[in-house]
Amino acid sequence: MVTNKFGPLVPVRVERLRAALRIRRMPVLQLAERAGLRQQTIDFIVRDESGKRRCREAHLRAMADVLDVDFDYLTGKIDRLRYARTSYERDEDGFHLFADTSDPEQLAGIHLAEDRFGRRCYAAIIRDLIALHGGRRKAEEAYLKDNWWMLFEGLMQMIRPGTWRAAVLKAPRRPVRSRTRVADMEREGLEALAKGFEVVLAPWLDGGADLDVKALGALRRAVTDGWKKHHDKKATKSRKRTTRRRTKK
């Protein structure tokens, strides 16, 4: 580890720091005040375009705490966040939707938006289960045994643009669009939905209200039925194409 007289220096993935500021809608001045740092120090970091910026470990940890972002993600030690799933998946054609996203800052925004929403939902579910079962260990056991994980997966599915698109559109005509444009649309939609649902569910996420699981389940079924039909149809077509190719051989 590189050090100087002020302490150890760590690498900074500047695009991820900028994305975190954008997702949290936090200006540099506010971050500086809450992290106890000089605004000029943070400005010097976020405006760097070389990709080789380093800063004091204590400074980066302070910023990570305020932004509620994994410190190792900001340093580049890890590239995957626990709850960021959509951004690593492939579409029905096998295309990795965000793999070719030209702007790494935009890709980081997808990771951070989904991970933040997923982390808050999981914490709220476990909190409610602790109150019900009287301990974290029992709550985590109930999460798996009593299928509470399905509630979590349902919430995560609600912030995927494709889920809503399949539910509310009837056989949409698909204009020719570049993969980059499709990825941009999905990114914008996912970030907006994650933020929107976080606002809608804020009373529950903050512990001030109970979640109506039955009502949420009904909404999820209503929405995801369209998504399932869409993907079942795509899967059927794919199987037919495979069968035809094998028959020709």
CATH number of the domain that residue 36 is part of = 1.10.260.40
3 - beta bridge partners?
Answer: 8
pLDDT at position 27? 94
Euclidean distance between CA atoms 24 and 35, whole angstroms: 14
Number of domains observed in the structure of the chain? 2
Mean pLDDT within 127-155: 92
80 in a structural domain: no
Q: Which residue has the tokens 């912030």?
A: 159
Domain boundary among 22, 54, 75: 75
Mean pLDDT within 41-46: 92
Could you tell me if 198 and 131 lie in one domain? yes
Q: Which residue has the tokens 């998946």?
A: 89
Domain with 53 in it:
3-75
Is 80 exceeded by the pLDDT of residue 235? no
- Residues above pLDDT 90, as percent of the chain: 49
Could you tell me if 124 and 214 lie in one domain? yes
pLDDT at position 104? 82
Cβ atoms 161, 227 nearer than 8 A: no
Backbone angles phi, psi at 63, to 5 degrees: -70, -40
pLDDT at position 126? 96
pLDDT at position 95? 45
pLDDT at position 87? 55
Euclidean distance between CA atoms 177 and 25, whole angstroms: 30
Q: Which of 40, 56, 48, 59 minimizes the C-alpha distance to 16? A: 48
Euclidean distance between CA atoms 199 and 169, whole angstroms: 25
Could you tell me if 221 and 146 lie in one domain? yes
Q: Give the pairing of strands 54-56 and 3-4.
A: unpaired
Judged by DSSP in three states, 120 sits in helix
What pLDDT, in 10s, does the model give residues 148-158?
A: 998 998 899 88
Could you tell me if 25 and 125 lie in one domain? no
Could you tell me if 8 and 96 lie in one domain? no
Could you tell me if 57 and 96 lie in one domain? no
148 in a structural domain: yes
Is 50 exceeded by the pLDDT of residue 96? no
Cβ atoms 104, 72 nearer than 8 A: no
Euclidean distance between CA atoms 239 and 195, whole angstroms: 37
pLDDT at position 80? 87
- pLDDT band at residue 94, thresholds of 50, 70 and 90? very low
